[in-house]
A = this chain, B = another copy of it.
Amino acid sequence: MSTTSLDPTVTAVATQFDLATGLTEARPSLQRRLSDMSGMYADTAALSAAVDADDVLTYEFYDFGVPSLETEVAYGTSITYPGKVGDEYFMTKGHFHTRLESAEIYLCLSGQGLMLMESPEGDVQVEEFRPGRSVYVPGRYAHRSINTSPDEPLITFFAFPGDAGHDYGTIETKGFRRIVLERDGAPVLVDNPRWQS
């Protein structure tokens, strides 16, 4: 976890990202391997086997430690790698914002995929990521990036209010109501058999 400050930013900060990889050398990324995704994929046997065989990096992203103030803007890149666990595409854990009403904007820089969104009341929305496509995630919606490409990383740039915070626990406990699987080579949205009400 980054240490969050309540002192406003007073100096401009420039960060060089590589647009081809989404990565920056400005600071270490936060990395999530298959072994960090326990309970997240529907096919638990396939996950266990994949962790044992080769515990690959599934996604990484950055936290620049922007002050936790509503007047600041947290930002960074997120890179979700191609792959599947069983029929389920590699994806981020997904989260609600602690300040639930906080929205977020994503801009897809390369790759293809989906943004899966779900409100506490169970409304589900899905939008496509393609290069140059922005997706505005409304406040109150948990959000998860899913890479549906067979071979390309899904690279996005994101920005959200500095005081939004992250609630990962709700999704870790309950899951999303819907998951995205590959069927006949294409993504389909289906009920999550492991969803906890």
Residue A51 is within 8 A (CB to CB) of chain B in the complex: no
A103 interface hit (Cβ, 8 Å): yes
Please determine whether A103 and B72 come into contact, CB atoms closer than 8 angstroms: yes
Give Cα distance in the complex from A66 to B8, angstroms.
Answer: 24
Please give, as numbers and ranges, the residues of chain B lying within 8 Å of A70 by CB-CB distance.
70-71, 161
In whole Å, how far is A117's beta carbon from the nearest beta carbon of chain B?
6
Q: Which of A71, A139, A140 has most B Cβ within 10 Å?
A: A71
Q: Mark A65-102, 1 if CB is under 8 A from B, else 0.
A: 01000111101000000000000000000000001011
Copies of this chain, tallied across the complex: 2
Are A75 and B14 interface neighbours, CB within 8 A?
Answer: no
Expressed in whole angstroms, the minimum distance between the Cβ of A24 and any Cβ of chain B is 8
Indicate if the CB atoms of A137 and B105 lie closer than 8 Å: no
Contacts of A131 in B (CB 8 A): 19
Contact in complex: A14, B138 (CB < 8 Å): no
> Which residue of the partner chain B has the closest CB to A135?
B14
Report the separation of the CA atoms of residues A69 and B194 in the bound assembly, to the nearest whole angstrom: 36
Q: Which residues of A contact B (CB under 8 A)?
A: 8-19, 64, 66, 70-73, 75, 99, 101-105, 107, 109, 115, 117, 125, 127-128, 130-141, 157, 159-162, 164
27 contacts across the A-B interface (CB closer than 8 A): A8-B101, A9-B136, A9-B139, A12-B137, A12-B138, A13-B136, A14-B135, A15-B133, A15-B136, A16-B130, A16-B132, A19-B109, A19-B132, A66-B103, A66-B136, A70-B70, A70-B71, A70-B161, A72-B139, A73-B73, A73-B104, A75-B105, A75-B134, A75-B136, A75-B159, A105-B159, A107-B107
